[in-house]
Amino acid sequence: MTDAAALTELTALVAPAHVLTDPASLQAYGKDWTHHYAPAPSAVVLPRTVEQVQAIVRWANRHRVALVPSGGRTGLSAAAVAARGEVVVAFDQMNRILAFDGVDRSVVCQPGVVTQQLQRFAEEQGLYYPVDFASSGSSQLGGNIGTNAGGIKVIRYGMTRNWVAGLKVVTGTGELLDLNKGLVKNATGYDLRHLFIGAEGTLGFVVEATMRLERAPRNLTAMVLGTPDFDSIMPVLHAFQGQLDLTAFEFFSDKGLAHILARGDVPAPFASSCPFYALLEFEASTEAVSEQALATFEHCVEQGWVLDGVMSQSETQLRNLWKLREYLSETISHFTPYKNDVSVTVAKVPAFLREIDAVVAQHYPDLEVVWYGHIGDGNLHLNILKPAAMDKDAFFARCAKVNQWVFEIVERFQGSISAEHGVGMTKRDYLHYSRSPEEIACMKAIKAVFDPNGILNPGKIFAPE
Ligand code: 2HG
Ligand code: ZN
């Protein structure tokens, strides 16, 4: 907890209006999109400059106050949740695009820039920022970097890490580091930039990022294909990847589709219903590419891998097909789902899913399980839905038991217990299923270098000491 004198000192570092302690703000800023923890920060501070961030970190060191960085709070692992009296450092006031260079195709952003703001800015320059996901309208760049956000275009463009050309960070001692300075080539020893990407604010706070942009895609076109079983999705992926440069390859189950259609505002892709659906996207830059896509589709039908399909013929159709996948997370959110976000190498996906599905079906025959995800990246989202009548805590306690079985399978397949949602608090007790004791010891040693007093987002990634 932060005492009154310390709070007065904090207020003097920024401006009175930029320290919030009212209950509504503490509730709003203390949580992310997880439902597991009750928010309980002692204050929220909104810095406007890099110097203010440094001053806040030094203040926190003096008073031994824990700080939790906060962006759009759309995270799914409670990495930005302040449940133990921490002070939230929210970057909403540092939301400007500072510079653009058309030759380097780079853009300098403050951490509070919203993902969609960067995407739109890129479009205005005739370029493209390719990291995209359903929460791009509210997630902030600092959070994207802190979690190395992935999303729906990773198969072609990679994760946020690929687009960070330079990073300014304030470490746990209040030091400002200017890392890589936007360079393409820089072989001067350790690339510290990459340590801060995906570190969930445990090593330093991102205060400025130089992001790369890409050429804009031409005539993006999507196909939704219905398959008779999960195993057919992989040969479909293989067939299309052999012919086209895919910009996305996603999947969802019939249960997922049923929830989307129940909304009433998204059209069905086609009349027949299938157990699984693949959504793929490519640039139909020429007529020949579209013809190749159709020929591959026909080949998949002949092989019995695909039962039905549709290809977008307009921007509106493209958008509608994407809604089938992109709306899933939000659509099922009122069922308070228990989420897992696991990955293996792509070739192992069918055997992996079969094992996990069997374990979940055996232990939770009464609960609805919805599968979807970025299958082209080997990344599956497993959502177990809470029955309306079941108490939330009892439901989470029951679902937590599934973790051990799921993660034992993940470990055996040498996969990841968190492919793109981070560790935060929800997965920290399971880190050892994906990381060796030696690795975890190195990670803790690195944390001690940048944050010797343990004030930056303690209790995230690792359990509190
Ligand atoms: C997605 O791919 C997001 O839609 C959310 O990563 C995943 O809701 C989920 O489990
Ligand atoms: Zn995802």
Q: Based on the domain organization, do 38 and 140 belong to the same domain?
A: no
Q: Based on the domain organization, do 196 and 122 belong to the same domain?
A: yes
Q: Based on the domain organization, do 322 and 348 belong to the same domain?
A: no
- For residue 40, give the nearest of 60, 68, 15, 17 by alpha carbon: 68
Q: Based on the domain organization, do 101 and 211 belong to the same domain?
A: yes
Q: Considering 70, 93, 116, which residue would you say is the last residue of a domain? A: 93
Whether 454 maps to a domain, the answer reads no
Whether 395 maps to a domain, the answer reads yes
Whether 444 maps to a domain, the answer reads no
pLDDT for 312 equals 98
DSSP 106: E
- Distance between CA atoms of residues 64 and 2, nearest Å: 9
Give the strand pairing for 176-179 and 67-70.
unpaired
- Distance between CA atoms of residues 142 and 149, nearest Å: 10
3-state SS, residue 168? strand
pLDDT for 36 equals 84
Q: Residues 225, 309: contact at Cβ < 8 Å?
A: yes
Whether 209 maps to a domain, the answer reads yes
pLDDT for 145 equals 98
Q: Based on the domain organization, do 343 and 318 belong to the same domain?
A: no
Copy the structure tokens of residue 249: 């390859």
pLDDT for 1 equals 55
Ligand 1 contact, 339 CB (< 6 A) = yes
pLDDT for 180 equals 98
Residue nearest to atom 6 of ligand 1 (CA): 151
pLDDT for 14 equals 97
pLDDT for 402 equals 86
Q: How far apart are the first and last CA of the chain?
A: 17
Ligand 1 contact, 329 CB (< 6 A) = yes
Atom index in ligand 1 nearest the CA of residue 326 equals: 4
- Distance between CA atoms of residues 19 and 43, nearest Å: 7
Whether 378 maps to a domain, the answer reads yes
- Distance between CA atoms of residues 373 and 413, nearest Å: 18
Q: Based on the domain organization, do 115 and 144 belong to the same domain?
A: yes
Ligand 1 contact, 153 CB (< 6 A) = no
Q: Based on the domain organization, do 310 and 260 belong to the same domain?
A: yes
**Residue at 248: amino acid letter:** A
- Beta strand segments in 91-163, E: 97-101, 106-109, 127-128
Q: At a CB cut-off of 8 Å and minimum separation 6, what does 245 contact?
A: 156, 282, 283
Alpha-carbon distances of 88 from 12, 21, 71, 249, 392, rounded to whole Å? 16, 10, 10, 37, 26
Q: Considering 186, 215, 244, which residue would you say is the last residue of a domain? A: 215
Ligand 1 contact, 34 CB (< 6 A) = no
The CATH number of residue 142's host domain is 3.30.465.10
Q: Considering 329, 360, 384, which residue would you say is the last residue of a domain? A: 329
Question: What b/e string do you get for 222-259 counting C-beta neighbours within 10 Å, with b at 16 or more?
Answer: bbbbbbeebebbbbbbebbbeebebbbbbbbbebbbeb
Alpha-carbon distances of 25 from 78, 88, 90, 142, 378, rounded to whole Å? 17, 10, 11, 20, 38
Phi/psi at 258 (nearest 5 deg)?
-60, -40
Phi/psi at 206 (nearest 5 deg)?
-70, 125
**Residue at 205: amino acid letter:** F
Q: The pTM is what?
A: 0.96
Q: Based on the domain organization, do 208 and 102 belong to the same domain?
A: yes
Residue ranges of the chain whose pLDDT lies below 50: none
- For residue 328, give the nearest of 424, 261, 403, 423 by alpha carbon: 261
Task: Domain count for the chain, please give it.
Answer: 4
Task: Provide the domain limits for residue 165.
Answer: 97-215
Distance 92 CA to ligand 2 centre (A): 24
Whether 125 maps to a domain, the answer reads yes
Question: What b/e string do you get for 265-295 counting C-beta neighbours within 10 Å, with b at 16 or more?
Answer: ebeebeeeebebbbbbbbbbeeeebbebbee
Q: Based on the domain organization, do 199 and 172 belong to the same domain?
A: yes
Q: Based on the domain organization, do 160 and 102 belong to the same domain?
A: yes
Residue nearest to atom 4 of ligand 1 (CA): 329
Q: Residues 344, 434: contact at Cβ < 8 Å?
A: no
Q: Based on the domain organization, do 205 and 270 belong to the same domain?
A: no
What size, in residues, is the chain? 465
3-state SS, residue 32? coil
The CATH number of residue 412's host domain is 3.30.70.2740
Whether 37 maps to a domain, the answer reads yes
Atom index in ligand 1 nearest the CA of residue 325 equals: 4
Whether 457 maps to a domain, the answer reads no
Q: Based on the domain organization, do 230 and 192 belong to the same domain?
A: no
Question: What b/e string do you get for 399-428 counting C-beta neighbours within 10 Å, with b at 16 or more?
Answer: beebbebbbebbeebebbbbbbbbbbbbbb
